[in-house]
Structure 1
Amino acid sequence: MAEESSTLSQVFQKAESLYLGLQQSALPSNSDGYQATVNDSIRGFLRAVDMVRQLCLFSENEFVEDIGAKDLRFLLTEYYLGELFLKRTGDDRLSYLDQSKLHFDHFLHQCESHDILTPQDKKHLEQVTTDAPRDAATRRADKIARFKREKDMQSRIEEFNKILGTTSSSYDGELSTEMEEKYRDFVQLHIQYAIFQTMEQLVGIQQELPMLKKMVERKNASGSTDGRAAGRSQEDMQEARVDDSRIYNATGPLMDAQGKLLRPFVITNQRRELMQGVFRPGHSLPTMTIDEYLQQEVERGNVLSGGTDPKKPEVDDNDEEAVDAETLKARAWDDFKDENPKGWGNRGGRHG
């Protein structure tokens, strides 16, 4: 009876407290205690959704400025439900994803109706829903920008939490004019962060849903096959099974008088290949000659031809300048050899 007489604010605050407790919980996500809290929080938010509809709290033609500061937080109800259905575990994962996506879509629709979605969010939402092709540099820049934006929102929420003395979006105390403006900014920041997280979760759901659907199709197909196999009588299965005691009797008969298989066998028409495999040498035979290998390396450009030293250009005897230059070069080289005897640079060649 106490729960039935609770106000919308009390129902929402209790469900939100359960949700925030899950964020800090050390229990495994598949444990009974964790899943019980998930279900309790879901029931609370579903009741909050019904109460919001009964009270006609939001109108499609209202802008965010027309909604009261304390009523704004109830827009987060659909977002919390989307997050909670993702936390459910069990065999019906596909159904949980569908329900989560439904609540996320409803939350974004509400935000768009009340003019809360920013142009940046609308652009990203279009890219997410249409899977528009983008180059790697653009994707990386968007990812870095969104990461910085997420960190900025988290730090601002923590600052508001210190100012308002709360860890959730709820605040039931009296609000002065100045405090009401701060609280409105605080709730709007919560909603912006929820929009950010919703679009990130939708990307994951969009990637996971096709895989789960394929798994369900394969499971159904294998289930029908198993059902046909189970329909066969035990006697038929026994007759089809090869006798284990005779399975290694390779020299005995292949079948008995009733046509029952006595040992495994291989049907093949590759008799010549089997014979060649039996009488082949123990080592691997070459697949090409040395000449073929060298020709292949030449075609690949791995073999140098014509030596490694480039030919010295011959000097034209009629070109006096070239002849003089060559003569001066030869004299300089002779002078260098006279001034630097062979072995002079070696440590062992130094005496005295």
Structure 2
Amino acid sequence: MSENDASLAQVFQRAETLFLDIQKSSLSSTSEEFQSKVNESIRGFERSGIMVRQLSLFSENEFMEDISTKDLRFLLTEYYLGELFLKRVSKDRLADLTISKEHFDHFLLQCETHDILTAQDKKYLEQITTDAPRDAATRRGEKIARFKREKEMRNQIEEFNKVLGTTSSGYEGELSSEIEDQYRDFVLLHLQYAIFQTMEQLVGIQQEIPMLKQIQERKAAEGSGDSRIAGRANEDTRDARVDDSRIWNATGPLMDPNGRPLRPFVITNKRAEMMAGVFRPGHSLPTMTIEEYLHQEMERGNFLSGGTEEPKKKEPDDNDEEAINAETIKARNWDDFKDDNPKGWGNKGGRIG
């Protein structure tokens, strides 16, 4: 059977099998064999995406319950493409990251449209998109919780693989009513795991893209600077070359009639330098007044204002017998302590004999 005659399920299954092999591969990510599998899997999922759109499998008006069990797994197409473009090694890393982000965004949009995103997923997605400030303890707790959740989902997927006898998201046998319920839960678990991985990958992409853009801008600036320097050097060599035989002529003129230097010289004002050295004080002069310094420190928050008065002691209510008894006991304990520990008792330096 040729590729053009293959069904959507066959094309998707072939691309997914390649993707799972890549995930478990021990090959170097830069090797030709590894990259060949990555590109072949990309072509398979891109063809799957085209077939999904041609068949109009998913409608914006459908919720998760409205999508057939056999069709649910094809929602993973955009997720797999996002992962594969991250694994692709090319000359333009920034372009691959941009394409990967577009596929991930499309996948999350599909999941939200069909009501697959959970409230927890939406909350975390809002946090990473708005970059809301959180303290270190909160971030650490969230990271531990998400790690546990990822591990739990992986274990559940492995259990489903054993029960259904499959290694991918597909099921080749007939779907009885019992098997269909299990398989549907299995595919939904795959989607939840893909949503989890997508949001984790988006965090890394959002951090890497600005760095790559800065590198490109720096290279572009260096390239334009190099071209200007090269042009200026050629012009100097061609039009303004100094005669080596006259450059150390200390008695000749500094410049020729065209303004070109004939010998090295430094423009200085010796008289001003000498005056500055002779008449300056022997100590460093202040750069600001005391008032300016205090005003600056107050703006920085290094001086505290107020709070110098001792807080007034709260007198217990005459009708509150418990508070009065507590104050009485406290005073007696303090008197007993002073009787047992006279002033200066622990000061050995002050003891004589």
The TM-score with structure 1 as length reference comes to: 0.69
What is the match of residue 58 of structure 1? Answer: 58
Q: Supply the distance in 2 between the matched residues of 1:123 and 1:160 (Cα, whole angstroms).
A: 28
**Which structure has the larger Rg?**
1
Q: Which residue type is aligned with residue 95 of structure 1?
A: A
What is the match of residue 27 of structure 2? Answer: 27
Shift of 1:40: 1.3
The one-character-per-residue Cα deviations of 1:261-318 (angstroms, maximum 9, x if unpaired) are 68877665589999xxxxxxxxxxxx9xxxxxxxxxxxxxxxxxxxxxxxxxxxxxxx
Would the alpha carbon gap of residues 176 and 260 (structure 1) be closer, same or farther in structure 2, given more than 3 Å must change? same
What is the match of residue 294 of structure 1? Answer: none
The one-character-per-residue Cα deviations of 1:159-203 (angstroms, maximum 9, x if unpaired) are 112222222112222222222211111111111000001001111
Q: Supply the distance in 2 between the matched residues of 1:134 and 1:113 (Cα, whole angstroms).
A: 29
What is the match of residue 209 of structure 1? Answer: 209
Would the alpha carbon gap of residues 30 and 256 (structure 1) be closer, same or farther in structure 2, given more than 3 Å must change? farther
1:216 partner SS: helix
Task: Report the identity percentage.
Answer: 68
What is the match of residue 103 of structure 1? Answer: 103
Q: Contact between 1:101 and 1:202, CA under 8 Å: does it hold in 2?
A: yes
Q: Supply the distance in 1 between the matched residues of 2:82 and 2:133 (Cα, whole angstroms).
A: 27
Q: Which residue type is aligned with residue 121 of structure 1?
A: D
Gaps of 5+ in 1: 275-286, 288-321, 326-336, 338-352
- Is 1:122 aligned to residue 122 of structure 2? yes
Q: Supply the distance in 1 between the matched residues of 2:84 and 2:166 (Cα, whole angstroms).
A: 22
Would the alpha carbon gap of residues 162 and 259 (structure 1) be closer, same or farther in structure 2, given more than 3 Å must change? same
Q: Contact between 1:60 and 1:113, CA under 8 Å: does it hold in 2?
A: yes
Matches within 5 A, 1:230-249: 230-231=230-231, 234=234, 236-237=236-237
What is the match of residue 84 of structure 1? Answer: 84
Shift of 1:231: 4.2
What is the match of residue 43 of structure 2? Answer: 43
Q: How many residues align?
A: 284
What is the match of residue 316 of structure 2? Answer: none
Q: Contact between 1:12 and 1:44, CA under 8 Å: does it hold in 2?
A: yes
Q: Which residue type is aligned with residue 174 of structure 2?
A: E
Q: Supply the distance in 2 between the matched residues of 1:42 and 1:112 (Cα, whole angstroms).
A: 24
1:124 partner SS: helix
The one-character-per-residue Cα deviations of 1:28-67 (angstroms, maximum 9, x if unpaired) are 2223322222211111111101100111111122222222
Q: Contact between 2:250 and 2:263, CA under 8 Å: does it hold in 1?
A: no
Would the alpha carbon gap of residues 252 and 95 (structure 1) be closer, same or farther in structure 2, given more than 3 Å must change? farther
Shift of 1:251: 9.1
Q: Contact between 1:239 and 1:260, CA under 8 Å: does it hold in 2?
A: no
Gaps of 5+ in 2: 275-283, 285-338, 343-352
Would the alpha carbon gap of residues 129 and 255 (structure 1) be closer, same or farther in structure 2, given more than 3 Å must change? same
What is the match of residue 131 of structure 1? Answer: 131
The TM-score with structure 2 as length reference comes to: 0.69
Q: Supply the distance in 2 between the matched residues of 1:63 and 1:261 (Cα, whole angstroms).
A: 81
Q: Which residue type is aligned with residue 220 of structure 1?
A: A
Q: Supply the distance in 1 between the matched residues of 2:136 and 2:249 (Cα, whole angstroms).
A: 61
The one-character-per-residue Cα deviations of 1:137-159 (angstroms, maximum 9, x if unpaired) are 22111111111101101111111
Q: Contact between 1:38 and 1:87, CA under 8 Å: does it hold in 2?
A: yes
